[in-house]
Structure 1
Amino acid sequence: MGRMIVSVQKSILVGEVSAPASKSYTHRAVFAAALGDGKCCLSNCLISEDTRSTMKACRLFGGSFEEISDKIYVSGFGKRLKVPDEIVDVGNSGTTLRFMTALSALCGSEITLLGDASLQKRPNTPLLETLQKMGARAYSKNNNGCAPLVVEGKIKPGIYSIDGSVSSQFISALLLVCPLLDGPTELSIHGELKSKPYVDITMDVAKAAGIEILEQIEQTDPTDPTDPTDQNKNSVSAKTGGKISYKIKGNQAYHLENYTVPGDFSSVSYVLAAAAMISGSDVDVKNLFPSAQGDLAIIHILKEMGADISWDKKEGTVHVSNSGKTLTGICVDAGEIPDLVPTLAVLGTFSEGRMEIKNAGHVRFKETDRLHAMATELSKMGAEIIETADGLIISGKGGAGLFGANLCGWDDHRIVMALFVAGLMTGGTTIDTAESVRISYPRFFEDMKKIGANAIEK
């Protein structure tokens, strides 16, 4: 893959785009369809490098996939898992790595899983430790919790616990494979369950495939804030008021026949944020219907910051415009919405007043350390930004004193797209490693130019 640099100038955004399909839902739908023993048609899929990594890995276990436009036709392997005859290389996809690690623990043979250089820095210890408790031998070859990973032996049903503070993908992986065990499993979560909406997405897809998983919350605190900007909401534990556990029946079978993937709020957060900040902009984003995605909070956050934004849930259209106002900084708890942190950092930089992003320590373990990356790059544009242990504090001046710069995209799709929005505000900006948008939003630059972005890729 060649290196790409994108050059961005000041722009006004006007027009209409359709949200790309959700990457999170596509991963899970592909996996659930592969876990079935029949045929399935998945519609409105995100065909990207990450989701292709899941398809490629599932092929090694016996699945069959055919891509036609935005549809994926799947023939699943069900419980007739084939043992891969080669290393399972998942590329840059953390979701694929975690799902396939759990799946490998159903096979009973030694399986090695590998990822690219970035993925080999991302931790997996809670998942490996839990698989060990469940009866498999699961370990990191380099003894650092990171890929390459090796899984031997089979997991067994029972009562187990797992740390939820590092990544919700560990919990999702176990929730998807445990229904295939020959008895019931109970999985309790200790520590703060970060990014719980992604577990909710997993539950949503599993339910569509006919899988029964019971979520139980032990109520210990009546507090139940629902606004992502609520400063009293410190964690999922605070929101739910208790400990979370999942009860999973054994000997279940996946039956996902036809499934339509919803639009992706994470990916369109950049479009919505740009249109909300840039004076003169007027944009409609289609294909945004209600779903379990936590990142739909971007609509409520923008509204809280003073943006002119509305959501027609029946039509699936979000309308956002700016007639000359400057947004106001707020405090946002990012515990459930880690993928919005780069977008929020840019919003704070070009807003008026203090913007605080907190409870975001887990964002340091994504494709890159996104807190450090955003603080570093926005500082190059003149932003007053302080990096804390678990967040960012930004002193916004409504864009005053900010300027274009040559920025690094950190080989991270979300960093590149967020900095692109910043470049639309200042002009005179270049961002390297821009090809990384192919991970989650392959047509990002095309869509942005469609509604008026002045940008050149080279």
Structure 2
Amino acid sequence: MIELTITPPNHPLSGKVEPPGSKSITNRVLLLAGLAKGKSTLTGALKSDDTLYMAEALRAMGVDVTEPDATSFVVESRGVLTAPAKPLFLGNAGTATRFLTAAVASVDGTVVVDGDEHMRKRPIQPLVEALNALGIDADAATGCPPVTVKGNGQGFTRDSVTIDANLSSQYVSALLMAAPCGAKPLDIILAGEDIGAKGYIDLTVSAMEAFGATVERVSNAIWRVHPTGYKATDFHIEPDASAATYLWGAELLTGGQIDIGTPADAFTQPDAKAYAVMAQFPNLPAEIDGSQMQDAIPTIAVLAAYNTTPVRFVGIANLRVKECDRIRALSLGLNGIREGLAEEDGDDLIVHADPALAGQTVSASIDTFHDHRIAMSFALAGLKTGGIAIQNPVCVGKTYPGYWKALGSLGVEYNETGQD
């Protein structure tokens, strides 16, 4: 097992680091470009495990996807996806898996959407049930991938569907993006208004409209999508707001000044809302609602360890069904730094702040559970406390392959030990 141990820099971190392109937007527009007839050029894109899985899946279904440089995709499509020769393997990419499960309803043939051992533990049954309600033959024997979808060659043919999106807003985004390829207008209705990260729905709709779709917001719980299909377009992808949170955290923890090239208020992604909360460090609020900035919570939870007062994180139940159970992983990691530093209270996480940890040396090997966000967030603790080792540091490649290099460019030193 490889571990990466960070040496606290003992000086403010300053410099310029541009985060990679947004994973959320990259995987949305890759799919939309694949469904659009013509040639689309996507710039500012993220090249990471998640987005490369999406690109490879599109290639397997007859879409021409080329990569002229490190931050661009050129996508040329006939506007239809064809049945792949073998199951689509999508690693642990939740966006690619959920989005494609709905999109392949328009394929003339059978498509198996699968992933790695971690993806096979992530729920997808609500989306499968919604597809069944739309007349699509879809099945997931365990309620998680693999999903077998027997496409009908024409997409959705019914005029409404109700979806339980309590576990993930990605189910709604998946139906939204597939709907313009159907035969008639489709109303997508929430089963109740309880949904995690509604801001990501807005992100989806904005991307769809850029590719020529028409989406009406009938109410807070109903979207009406018209059968317009998609038009090829050129699209520039903004930097990843979730990745930016690590750099904001490094700046705040060390009292430095890191220029990420984009002001916090210029992002359209929901996780950028985290900046207003993080900027209050070391006097973070006593209670933080993470429901609309879920991917930023690991960053803020580690920041909270060095806060002046305890912090309770609420609205984060969905973190239990991400790449790992992030509530549990955060609790275990923080308690590995100092016993009693964190506790789970139902689906809430309480971080018992201990600013005295700054400058101390501990012996803490952080189990990342192969989760990129756990690895990147706990690296921030290593900026203030010695002896913190990050297990499986390469897992950051899921969304931010250059993360360790970025920290190094700011003067952070680290030592890698162990073997694969």
Alignment check: 8 A CA contact 1:375 1:385 kept: yes
Aligned partners of 2:46, 2:138: CA distance in 1, in Å? 31
Over 3 Å off, 4+ runs = 326-330, 399-404
**1:108 offset after TM fit, Å?**
4.0
Letter aligned with residue 10 of structure 1: P
SS of structure 2 residue aligned to 1:157: coil
**1:20 offset after TM fit, Å?**
1.3
SS of structure 1 residue aligned to 2:383: helix
One of 351, 369, 384 as aligned partner of 1:425: 384
**1:246 offset after TM fit, Å?**
0.4
Aligned partners of 2:108, 2:356: CA distance in 1, in Å? 57
SS of structure 2 residue aligned to 1:151: strand
**1:275 offset after TM fit, Å?**
1.2
**Correspondences of 1:162-173 after superposition (within 5 Å):** 162-173=163-174
**1:329 offset after TM fit, Å?**
4.5
Aligned partners of 2:348, 2:412: CA distance in 1, in Å? 30
Alignment check: 8 A CA contact 1:157 1:178 kept: no
Q: Which runs of 5+ in 2 are unaligned?
A: none
Aligned partners of 2:188, 2:3: CA distance in 1, in Å? 45
SS of structure 1 residue aligned to 2:162: strand
Q: Which runs of 5+ in 1 are unaligned?
A: 218-242, 307-325
Aligned partners of 1:150, 1:75: CA distance in 2, in Å? 26
1:264-286 superposed Cα distances (whole Å, 9 cap, x missing partner): 1101101111210224x222211
Alignment match, 1:120: 120
Alignment match, 1:270: 246
1:12-57 superposed Cα distances (whole Å, 9 cap, x missing partner): 3121111211010100111111111100111111011100010011
Aligned partners of 2:170, 2:81: CA distance in 1, in Å? 22
Aligned partners of 1:35, 1:89: CA distance in 2, in Å? 19
Alignment match, 2:337: 381
Letter aligned with residue 376 of structure 2: M
Alignment check: 8 A CA contact 2:278 2:300 kept: no
The reply to whether residue 396 of structure 1 matches residue 353 of structure 2 is yes
Aligned partners of 2:110, 2:164: CA distance in 1, in Å? 25
SS of structure 2 residue aligned to 1:6: strand
**Correspondences of 1:74-89 after superposition (within 5 Å):** 74-78=75-79, 80-89=80-89
Aligned partners of 1:72, 1:186: CA distance in 2, in Å? 32
SS of structure 1 residue aligned to 2:382: helix
One of 198, 201, 217 as aligned partner of 2:200: 198
**1:198 offset after TM fit, Å?**
1.3
One of 277, 284, 287 as aligned partner of 2:259: 284
The reply to whether residue 342 of structure 1 matches residue 304 of structure 2 is no
Alignment check: 8 A CA contact 2:278 2:284 kept: no
RMSD between aligned alpha carbons?
1.6
**1:177 offset after TM fit, Å?**
0.7
**1:355 offset after TM fit, Å?**
0.6
Letter aligned with residue 135 of structure 1: G
**1:292 offset after TM fit, Å?**
2.6
**1:197 offset after TM fit, Å?**
1.3
- Counting matched residue pairs gives 406
SS of structure 2 residue aligned to 1:376: helix
Alignment check: 8 A CA contact 1:363 1:371 kept: yes
Aligned partners of 1:71, 1:208: CA distance in 2, in Å? 17
**1:256 offset after TM fit, Å?**
3.4
**1:62 offset after TM fit, Å?**
1.2
Alignment match, 1:31: 31
Alignment check: 8 A CA contact 1:274 1:424 kept: yes
TM-score after normalising by structure 2: 0.93
1:224-263 superposed Cα distances (whole Å, 9 cap, x missing partner): xxxxxxxxxxxxxxxxxxx41100111x121232110001
One of 359, 362, 368 as aligned partner of 2:324: 368
1:42-76 superposed Cα distances (whole Å, 9 cap, x missing partner): 11110111000100111122111111221111102
Letter aligned with residue 311 of structure 2: M
Aligned partners of 1:4, 1:23: CA distance in 2, in Å? 26
